[in-house]
């Protein structure tokens, strides 16, 4: 194997990893905020991809332009999901954990089923976009433009989220609610409003990822499944409840995947991810950057 091939693999892994990170950040945000795992996270990604696809087909809006629209729509969707479903699920007196799991898991299945019913199981694809199919070549290393832009969007989104959490009142309320949901009620912060905002933000982030991914990935009702699994591992690897950890975890997962594929047969590339994950869990059960 040549040095070029190794650098190429690592570069591809890094670009993919930043995207994994962007997908996982929303999941980590919601989990950190209220200890709820959103099992419909992959389906959020899937409807974002469909939304991008339909905006492209019917209104000829390029995915790059529709990304903010899709993120905004997903923000509303996430908040509504919280207000209509999750709010009641977390209130359950008996078996609260189970109720919470099955409510979002059920939501995932319903979303998948409805998508298949209305949009058919056919594979869709954004055929020609501004970025699609373009590649820049730097010193013999090929960097696909969609993934490159995706990586930049991921970095920008993460930076924005970081500033939002640390610099705004709402961000501070988010952080305070995360620390102690009971105490914030005493100072007059509406817990439900904060949680709804958290769900909205989490969904908007994965919406952004979905819009970018629609440029270079195929779209069908089950597309969320393979990415959601990686997102769960990423969150656990990076550290439960840590938004920064999820982002770093994504990058690690991307690089480990690329490295494993170089060393082992590619059908085993997921093995590397889980091996690293196991190692981290052994040494540091709360994950690399976890605080719990």
Question: Which residue of 31, 220, 240, 247 would you call a contact of another protein, by CB under 8 A?
Answer: 220
Is residue 258 part of the contact set for another protein (CB under 8 A)? yes
Among 116, 162, 165, 193, binds another protein (CB under 8 A): 116
CB of 49 to another protein, least distance (A): 13
Is 180 among the residues that bind another protein (CB under 8 A)? no
The interface with another protein within residues 122-161 (CB under 8 A) comprises 122-125, 127, 133, 135, 137, 142, 144, 146-147
Least distance from C-beta 258 to another protein, angstroms?
5
Using rule CB under 8 A, residue 221 touches another protein: yes
* Residue 246 contacts another protein per CB under 8 A: no
Taking Cα atoms as reference points, which of 153, 152, 164 lies closest to residue 29? Answer: 164
**Which residue, chain included where needed, has tokens 């904060």?**
194
- Number of residues interacting with another protein: please give it, by CB under 8 A: 42
| Shortest distance (Å) from residue 88 CB to another protein | 28
Binding site for another protein (CB under 8 A): 1-2, 5, 8-9, 12-13, 16, 113, 116, 120-125, 127, 133, 135, 137, 142, 144, 146-147, 216-218, 220-222, 226-227, 230, 257-258, 261-262, 265-267, 269-270
């Amino acid at each position: 194997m040549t040095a070029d091939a190794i650098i190429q693999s690592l570069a591809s892994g890094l670009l993919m990893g930043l995207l994994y990170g962007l997908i996982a950040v929303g999941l980590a945000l919601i989990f950190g905020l209220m200890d709820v795992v959103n099992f419909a996270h992959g389906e959020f990604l899937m409807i974002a991809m469909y939304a991008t696809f339909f905006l492209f087909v019917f209104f000829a809006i390029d995915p790059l332009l529709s990304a903010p629209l899709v993120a905004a729509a997903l923000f509303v969707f996430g908040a509504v999901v919280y207000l209509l479903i999750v709010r009641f699920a977390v209130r359950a007196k008996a078996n609260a954990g189970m109720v919470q799991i099955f409510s979002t898991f059920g939501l995932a299945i319903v979303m998948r089923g409805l998508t298949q019913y209305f949009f058919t199981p056919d594979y869709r694809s954004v055929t020609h976009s501004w970025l699609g199919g373009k590649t820049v070549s730097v010193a013999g290393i090929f960097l696909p433009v969609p993934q490159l832009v995706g990586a930049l969007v991921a970095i920008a989104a993460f930076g924005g989220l970081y500033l939002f959490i640390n610099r705004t009142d709402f961000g501070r309320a988010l952080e305070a609610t995360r620390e102690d949901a009971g105490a914030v009620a005493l100072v007059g912060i509406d817990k439900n409003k904060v949680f709804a905002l958290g769900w909205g933000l989490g969904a908007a982030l994965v919406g952004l990822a979905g819009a970018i991914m629609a440029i270079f990935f195929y779209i069908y009702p089950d597309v969320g499944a393979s990415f959601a699994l990686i997102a769960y591992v990423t969150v656990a690897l990076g550290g439960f409840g840590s938004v920064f950890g999820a982002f770093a975890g994504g990058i690690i997962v991307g690089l480990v995947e690329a490295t494993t594929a170089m060393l082992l047969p590619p059908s085993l590339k997921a093995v590397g991810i889980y091996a690293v994950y196991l190692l981290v869990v052994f040494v540091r059960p709360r994950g690399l950057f976890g605080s719990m």
